[in-house]
Amino acid sequence: MVALDLSLHYKQGVAFQSEATEILYGGAAGGGKSFLMRVAAILWCLQVPKLQVYLFRRKYPDLIANHIDGSQRKEFGRLFIGIALLLASADGIVKLSSSLASTAGIPIFVVGLVVLAIGTSLPELAFSIKSISEHEPSMFFGNLLGSTIANSTLIVGTVSLIAPIKVIAFNEYLLAAVAFILVFSGFWFFVRSKHRLDRWEGGILLLIYITFLILEFSRQV
């Protein structure tokens, strides 16, 4: 199943909902006229059986550029901007975390373990809630397991290739490693036993995480 994005901005919505027999929609390239007509054509065909809608352009290359390649270039542009913003925000988060650790006197390991970990997990939390609300548990589990494997292999492997990782004091990470094993084992046991995760089981997982935070803060700070 392919999900289509048929959302319109304000100007497109006004034009689409208008009951006028003729509409003058001006603006330079990129104003959304071609997208508006594609959305209208799709919705009209869904509402009226056997309806055929034709989109014409003065030249065939213009048809390809506006209705086929144009949307692809726009998506690639959004992807490029998103990656650029992600890299810039990652650099800013690292600098702010180092400043926070030195100013508040908190070990940098605790900042990374709590502040950064929660911050980088918020997009996954939003994605998980969205996937469950749309009754897509397979997508939720795939994202959860995939991100865990990617962090343990892809991220660690790539970073170690760029700059070797030196573990100075392994005992500082022992509690976090034990907590990870307990949480993942508990999650796997709950899901494997009856192929679902109930609220009380989710509460146990949250309790383990809160206990870990309390123990880690009391040990480090």
Q: What's residue 221's pLDDT?
A: 58
State phi, psi for 166 to the nearest 5 degrees. Answer: -110, 120
Enumerate residues 6+ apart whose C-beta is below 8 A from 173: 109, 167
Q: What's residue 70's pLDDT?
A: 53
Residues 67-91 have pLDDT tens digits of 555 555 666 667 778 777 777 777 7
Q: What percent of the chain has pLDDT over 90?
A: 0
Average pLDDT score over residue span 53-72? 65
pLDDT at position 185 over 80: yes
Greater pLDDT, 73 or 7: 7
The domain locations on the chain are 10-17+27-55, 60-105, 107-220
Average pLDDT score over residue span 8-36? 74
* DSSP states of 117-130: HHHHHHHHHHHHHH
Query: Using 50, 70 and 90 to split pLDDT, how confident is the model at 2?
Result: very low
Q: What's residue 71's pLDDT?
A: 56
pLDDT at position 1 over 70: no
Enumerate residues 6+ apart whose C-beta is below 8 A from 49: none
- CB-count exposure of residue 113 (10 Å: 0-12, 13-18, 19+): buried
Q: What's the token pair of residue 140?
A: 């939720």
